[in-house]
Amino acid sequence: MVRSSIVFLILLSLLAVAGLARQPESGISDAEAVELLYAITEERGQPALDAMQRIREQADKRFIAALIETQLMMVENSERVAHVETLEALSGQRFGRSWFEWRDWYATTDLEPPPGFTGWKGSIFARIDGGFRDFLYDGATSTIRVEEIVWGGVSVDGIPPLEQPPVLPAAEATGMLDGEPVFGLAVNGEARAYPLRIMDQHEMANDVIVGEPVSLAYCTLCGAGIAYRTAQPDGTVFDFGTSGLLYRSNKLMYDRQTRTLWNQLTGEPVLGELAGPSSGHPRIRLEVLPIVLTTWAEWLADHPETTVLDFDTGHERQYRPGTPYSEYFTSSGTWFSTPVDDDRLAEKDWIFAIEINGSPKAYPIDTVLAERAINDELGGVEIVIAGSGENIEVSGTDRNDVDFSYEAGGAARAYERDGHSFSSGPEPDTLRDEHGQVWAVTEDALIGPADQRLDRLPGHLAFWFGWSTFFPDTELYAGP
């Protein structure tokens, strides 16, 4: 309580010094707005009721965000009633105590929160983990709606990232199963496999491959495993952790250098020191590296010299296929809702996602695997999407001894095609050009006759809802 009072006094002082104690149409000044924010959470009984009455009398819609945030915190029955009455009076909606419906509705509006909201939200989340204050503080530059940031159910780094994880040569990886899915990455001529049964439980691997710092950021909720080059032109090397926070059902990772929050799917800083042009930093977007999801057997056949993550990661885990998200992957629904509802595909249909020169496009993975070669043009670049193998099936028994099985996607790679037109080749990892000549599908490029080379382009798998949420203007491949 003392700490909250100190925070409140500091906020009032800052508002006054900055000349922000203006009087909006509602009659509640910015300074009073900060006071009311803390009153509805730090006070009980009559002070909280008085605060909600004041907000309701002034019809100040800025407080809708705060009231939704605190919906689950109301303890006293009188407070719960006043809370719902205030929300419904301000919004005109009738969702009662259905927190999820309030969240979904708010995401479709252009409402803004009251001043001091970010720091106030940080103080609430700090009751779970004090580290959340590092991310949610007043004055933090933001390119996203802080109101839509939600707690993902774990503390900061509660899902522990892997730090330069130990690897084994393929010959020593005796615990690997032929059909199990792996993320395959090749950097500077070295191939490395990241088993999904390890990544499912860590979601982040900060690694160095032949001197190149990379981070494999995996959002299990949106199905996207993305490899980023983390060394910046100015010499800064970012390494990332798991914030424990989500935005529109996507993992918010954070860099340990500035503790800025980043969008895992776009590779951009969204809240904190590095976010946005007003941060004083040049616009940052991490470079995406090509990655593929395939089976261990297929990856090993193509890369017999590969290394693979050791199951002895230094963490006490039972790395069983499908653990711990089998229930999520076998269901058709999501755990956290998003305001984007693009029904061109089912929410959790697998797609191969690619963006070129600001133009995003999605290719249903079933179509990629069926056609084997898709000739297309995107962002002014002629490309070919190469598919190989089948949709990978993961099966096993969950922690409740219930059998499960689900599809995890399949192998897709994108390349420049430079005027060529490709079709499926005579072998799984080959394509045939318009002259009948055979090209080899490799991690770096398509390699043709006389060592002709067409460079690989970065792309990755994702659930449809994850990609379309952050790229709502994405094209969707609909067939030849």
Q: What is the DSSP string of 176-245?
A: --TT-EEEEEEETTEEEEEEHHHHTTT-EEEEEETTEEEEEEEETTTTEEEEEE-B-TTS-B--EEEEEE
Q: Do both 133 and 225 map to the same domain?
A: no
Assigned domain for 327 exists? no
User: Is residue 148 situated within a structural domain?
Assistant: no
Residues 33 and 128 in one domain: yes
pLDDT in tens, 224-237: 999 999 999 989 99
Structural domain range at position 219: 162-309
- Point out the domain boundary residue: 140, 174, 198: 140
Question: What is the Cβ-side half-sphere exposure of residue 469, based on CA atoms within 13 angstroms?
Answer: 29
Last residue of a domain, one of 309, 326, 345: 309
Q: Are residues 260 and 371 in the same domain?
A: no
Interatomic CA distance for residues 332 and 358, integer angstroms? 30
Q: Is 202 a domain residue?
A: yes
The answer to the question of residue 38 being in a domain is yes
- Record the tokens describing residue 87, joined without a space: 């929300």
**In this structure, are 15 and 46 located in the same domain?**
yes
| pLDDT for residue 5 is more than 50 | no
Q: What is the rounded average pLDDT of the residues 264-283?
A: 85
Q: Model confidence over 371-413: pLDDT tens digits?
A: 999 999 999 999 999 999 999 999 988 878 889 999 999 999 9
230 and 362 assigned to the same domain: no
The total of structural domains in the chain comes to 3
Within a domain: 469:
yes
What sign does the dihedral 25-30-35-39 (CA atoms) show?
Answer: positive
Instruction: Note the pLDDT tens digit of each residue in 343-371.
Output: 999 999 999 999 999 999 999 999 999 99
- Confirm whether 149 is domain-assigned: no
Claim to verify: residue 280 and residue 362 sit in the same structural domain: no
Same-domain status, 345 and 439 = yes
Q: Would you call the peptide bond into 324 cis, given omega within 30 degrees of 0 as the criterion? A: yes
- Is 428 within the bounds of a domain? yes
Q: Are residues 285 and 359 in the same domain?
A: no
Q: Which of 275, 309, 343 is the last residue of a domain?
A: 309
The answer to whether residue 21 is domain-embedded is yes
Do 218 and 119 have their domain in common?
A: no
Based on the fold, state whether residues 195 and 115 are members of the same structural domain: no
What is the chain's mean pLDDT, rounded?
91
The answer on 304 and 185 residing in a single domain is yes
Task: Please check whether residues 222 and 340 belong to one and the same domain.
Answer: no
